[in-house]
């Protein structure tokens, strides 16, 4: 089984609420185990994938403490069947001031850290998606555009994958928002502008890979100053993998 490395490129920008990672920050892996984590409101979701032919048991834990000096969520042991991705949901306590929540996934004494993604300007339903399917994401343009009319948003032409192959084109599916007439009346209201992007996920038959993309915010009046905004990193699974999101369950500390 080929080992692969998922790379998180989710970068903090002024208009987003994402944790900062450099382009070279490695997404952890352990043999055939991979994971992705993201916040959804007060929920912390962790999806753990097992591409091996055996059942494994992993421990999901954190080194981040709350105001009382306790872990922001209790560690949990999770059984992951062969060729399966299991999703677990936590409800962490607020961390200490200026701290970001970290997640660690371990099998026995071996483990790795999993960066926790925040949606920021990108609105999506899931960070775990099947291969070879159409996928859409909504971009909050209201947070990116200013009132000067000098801002341009330039979207990547193609997304990238962990292995550097199976890239596909990113297309603008639709746009909306701005001054809008209320149907059947002479009333005009302002709707926050948005953009919907569409792309086909990598065509992999087996195992897992990752995909990501980004955009640039360009100020045309300031010597073409550019600000790079990285998008979400998705875990993409092939036909031989099974994805089983678990129901939300509160676990006491």
| pLDDT tens column, 118-171 | 888 999 988 999 999 999 999 999 888 876 678 889 999 999 988 777 778 999
Contacts of 98 (CB under 8 A, 6+ apart): none
**CA atoms within 13 Å, Cβ hemisphere of 15:** 18
Residues in the chain, overall count: 253
Assign 3-class secondary structure to 139-170: EEHHHCCCCCCCEEEEECCECEECCCCCCCEC
Non-local (6+) Cβ contacts of 50 within 8 A are 32, 33, 56, 80, 81, 82, 83, 84, 85, 86
The domain segmentation of the chain, as residue ranges, is: 6-245
How remote is the C-alpha of 21 from its chain's centroid? 13
Name the 3-class secondary structure at 142.
Answer: helix
- The CATH architecture to which 6-245 belongs is Sandwich (2.60)
Confidence of residue 223 (pLDDT cuts 50, 70, 90): low
Cβ pair 2, 29 in contact under 8 A: no
Tokens of 242: 């099974």
Say which residue the tokens 């915010």 belong to.
217
CA dist., res. 135 & res. 133, Å (int): 6
Model pLDDT, residue 167: 79
Q: State the average pLDDT over residues 193-197.
A: 94
Q: What is the end-to-end Cα distance of the chain in Å, rounded?
A: 37
pLDDT at position 2 over 50: no
Residue 109 banded pLDDT, cuts 50, 70, 90: confident
- Nearest CA to 212 out of 25, 2, 19, 7 is that of 7
């Amino acid at each position: 089984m080929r080992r692969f490395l998922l790379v998180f490129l989710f970068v903090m920008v002024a208009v987003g609420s994402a944790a900062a990672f450099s382009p070279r920050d490695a997404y952890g892996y352990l043999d055939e185990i991979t994971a992705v984590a993201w916040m959804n409101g007060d929920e912390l979701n962790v999806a753990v994938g097992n591409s091996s032919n055996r059942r494994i048991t992993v421990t999901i834990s954190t080194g981040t403490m709350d105001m009382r000096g306790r872990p922001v969520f209790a560690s949990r042991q999770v059984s992951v069947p062969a060729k399966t991705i299991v999703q677990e949901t936590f409800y962490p306590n607020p961390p200490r001031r200026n701290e970001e929540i970290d997640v660690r996934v371990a099998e026995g004494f071996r483990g790795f850290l999993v960066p926790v993604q925040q949606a920021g300007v990108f609105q999506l339903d899931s960070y775990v998606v099947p291969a070879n399917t159409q996928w859409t994401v909504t971009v909050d343009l209201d947070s990116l555009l200013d009132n000067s009319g000098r801002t341009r948003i330039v979207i990547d032409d193609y997304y990238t994958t962990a292995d550097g192959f199976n890239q596909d084109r990113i297309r603008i599916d639709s746009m909306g928002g701005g001054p809008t007439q209320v149907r059947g009346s002479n009333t005009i209201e302002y709707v926050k502008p948005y953009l919907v992007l569409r792309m086909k996920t990598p065509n992999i038959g087996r195992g897992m890979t990752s995909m990501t993309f980004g955009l640039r915010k360009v100020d045309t009046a300031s010597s073409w100053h550019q600000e790079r905004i990285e998008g979400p990193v998705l875990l993409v699974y092939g036909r031989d993998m099974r994805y089983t999101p678990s129901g939300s369950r509160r676990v006491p500390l």
